[in-house]
Amino acid sequence: MASAETETPTALDVLRRVFGYDSFRGEQEQIIGQVVDGGDALVLMPTGGGKSLCYQIPSLVREGTGVVISPLIALMQDQVDALRNLGVRAGFLNSTQGFDERRETEAAFLSGELDLLYLAPERLRVESTVQLLDRGTIALFAIDEAHCVSQWGHDFRPDYLALSELHERWPSVPRIALTATATEATHTEIASRLNLGEARHFVASFDRPNIQYRIVGKNEPKRQLLQLLRTEHAGDAGIVYCLSRASVEKTAEFLVQNGIPAVPYHAGLDARTRAENQSRFLREDGLVVVATIAFGMGIDKPDVRFVAHLDLPKSVEGYYQETGRAGRDGQPSTAWLAYGLQDVVQQRKMIDTSEGDQAHRRRLSAHLDAMLALCETVECRRVQLLNYFGQQGERCGNCDTCLTPPESWEGTVPAQKLLSTVVRLLNERNQKFGAGQVIDILLGRSTPKITQHRHDQLKVFGIGTELKDTEWRGVVRQLLAQGLLSVEGDYGTLVLTPGSEEVLYKGRQVRLRREPERAAKAVAKSKK
């Protein structure tokens, strides 16, 4: 389209004529201007913010082909089809392609008949691809999902590290790196690893005001979910995230049995079923997809009314990205998460047994801690989320903590009781136990396990009857979230941290969040 013979169209022309939009959004115009002029750009913009146009339009305006590096191989065909429907000459090269198709795309690129070429990052490691690019004209490099270069981040892809060489090989070709993940650490790492020293940085606000954030205590997750869907989201399209394939299957079945149209999606399903379920979700109204986090990257469905998590996400970045799939059309939407003590135990265990070195485990652990802090905050969730991404915000009035402010209470004494129980087990018996047993000791319960271990003879036996079982679980969760206690091993045994010592011996005070009334009621009901 931007061939030498025709007059160069302006960015605004392309926006209107090709994409059919009237005006630019946010900083799109400045970003596009920077790249059209041959400069580098680093773009941090939330999901749905309109990143694609930031490299698509410069690719059409500048001479040559825009080369887009993207890890989302499964979506390339769709992206290319969508562009072709708009009359844009687009193609892709990745491992899913047959020989003939690849040859055709390569020929089109070499003869200057492609506006956009999508490439999987591993392609650039192949010398023949590099030579191919050398023989054509490149308008720009767009590095999509640029956070994949960050080892600190949650979605590291080793192939992305090689992208640092683009600049050495093609010094005059502008580069634009884009991501919807924007912690300070990731931001800095992208800039340095991709050699974007000269780039202009464009950081959009990460606030998604139409999304209502809610995080509730998990007691009967499937029932709680059903309740949410029936009372607030009847007939709505949405995504339900579960950690395991098994729970994806079970939850989808459960919803269907209860009259809610739902399909499962996880990497264990065959490719056809996956593709079918995904396209039904995009096409049909009011379908619920129950999925592992394998689902969603690059999915552009504007009217997703809710995203529900039945298990704790591993990081705030993940949580933000997954919840960000709700409400791209700007209409009110819900991000709902149910989490419990078991989630913490399970994730700690996964971290303990994960591959990789100590530093890697420390990173995973820091990610989990930040997620827990978000769950247990008494402040506005949105403010906390934005702060995590290095941005400021004001109490939003549209999250659970703003709508029903949790009371906080002076929890130093219960914290000390719980921590000293852990200490006594260790010092007097050389034993470590999980939260269940520690709470039974505090409540003075005579269970077989208590009798067996003679825990009824401990001095702390029965010193915690002022709180109920569920309240003690809340105390444990919050101490974990505040780093005043930790769990380890297969059974989630409780262990002390430097913070615990401060509470026990140095007079450190502990404020705890009172569990909201409705959570307590739901527990009471489920116990009947």
List contacts with ligand ADP (CB under 6 A).
21, 24-25, 28, 45, 47-53, 300
Pick one of Zn ion, ligand ADP, none as the site partner of residue 53 (Cβ within 5 to 8 A by kind): ligand ADP
Residue 56: CB minimum distance to ligand ADP, A:
8
Considering only 382, 417, 432, 455, the residue that binds Zn ion (CB under 5 A) is 382
List the structure tokens of 479: 């101490």
What pairs with residue 487 in β-bridges?
494
What angle, rounded to 10 degrees, do the helices at 469-481 and 412-429 form? 90
Q: Does 402 bind Zn ion (CB under 5 A)?
A: yes
Pick one of ligand ADP, Zn ion, none as the site partner of residue 52 (Cβ within 5 to 8 A by kind): ligand ADP
Residue 51: CB minimum distance to ligand ADP, A:
3
CB closer to ligand ADP, 44 vs 226: 44
Task: Give the three-state DSSP class for 105.
Answer: helix
CB closer to Zn ion, 101 vs 407: 407
Q: Which of 237, 149, 137 is nearest to 193 (CA)?
A: 149
Q: Does 396 bind Zn ion (CB under 5 A)?
A: yes
Q: Does 399 bind Zn ion (CB under 5 A)?
A: yes
Residue 57: CB minimum distance to ligand ADP, A:
10
Pick one of ligand ADP, Zn ion, none as the site partner of residue 442 (Cβ within 5 to 8 A by kind): none
Phi, psi of 410, deg, nearest 5: -75, 110
- Tell whether the torsion through CA atoms of 104, 109, 113 and 114 is positive or negative: positive
Pick one of Zn ion, ligand ADP, none as the site partner of residue 293 (Cβ within 5 to 8 A by kind): none
User: Does residue 325 contact residue 299 with C-beta atoms inside 8 Å?
Assistant: yes
Number of residues located near Zn ion, criterion CB under 5 A: 5
CB closer to ligand ADP, 86 vs 234: 86
CB closer to ligand ADP, 276 vs 303: 303
User: Does residue 83 contact residue 75 with C-beta atoms inside 8 Å?
Assistant: no
Residue 324: CB minimum distance to ligand ADP, A:
8
DSSP assignment, residue 307?
A: E
Q: Does 119 bind Zn ion (CB under 5 A)?
A: no
CB closer to Zn ion, 275 vs 403: 403
Residue 88: CB minimum distance to ligand ADP, A:
13
Please report which residue ranges of 194-340 form alpha helices under DSSP H: 221-232, 245-257, 271-283, 316-323
CB closer to Zn ion, 208 vs 473: 208
Q: Does 218 bind Zn ion (CB under 5 A)?
A: no
Pick one of ligand ADP, Zn ion, none as the site partner of residue 382 (Cβ within 5 to 8 A by kind): Zn ion
Residue 252: CB minimum distance to Zn ion, A:
31
CB closer to ligand ADP, 50 vs 112: 50
- Tell whether the torsion through CA atoms of 481, 387, 408 and 526 is positive or negative: negative
Question: Tokens 């160069």 correspond to what residue?
Answer: 8
CB closer to ligand ADP, 86 vs 403: 86
If you compute the radius of gyration of the chain from its CA atoms, what whole number of angstroms results? 26
Q: Which residues contact 61 (CB under 8 A, 6 or more apart)?
A: 2, 8, 9, 10, 11, 14, 32, 36
Residue 129: CB minimum distance to ligand ADP, A:
24
Biggest CA–CA distance in the chain, Å, is 91
Pick one of Zn ion, ligand ADP, none as the site partner of residue 409 (Cβ within 5 to 8 A by kind): none
- Tell whether the torsion through CA atoms of 355, 361, 363 and 364 is positive or negative: positive
Q: Which of 149, 147, 152, 150 is nearest to 362 (CA)?
A: 152
Residues between 23 and 62 that touch Zn ion (CB under 5 A): none
- Which of left, alpha, beta for 407 (phi over 0: left; psi -120 to 50: alpha)? beta
CB closer to ligand ADP, 200 vs 468: 200
Phi, psi of 217, deg, nearest 5: -70, 140
- Taking the C-alpha atoms of residue 102 and residue 126, their distance in angstroms, rounded to an integer, is 14
* Choices 33-41, 154-162, 231-239, 393-401; region in contact with Zn ion by CB under 5 A: 393-401
Pick one of ligand ADP, Zn ion, none as the site partner of residue 402 (Cβ within 5 to 8 A by kind): Zn ion
CB closer to ligand ADP, 21 vs 505: 21
* Choices 130-138, 228-236, 378-386, 514-522; region in contact with Zn ion by CB under 5 A: 378-386
Question: Tokens 């500048």 correspond to what residue?
Answer: 62
- Residue environment code for 150-162, b if the CB has 16+ CB neighbours within 10 A, otherwise e: beebbbebebbee
Applying CB under 5 A, the residues found at the interface with Zn ion are 380, 382, 396, 399, 402
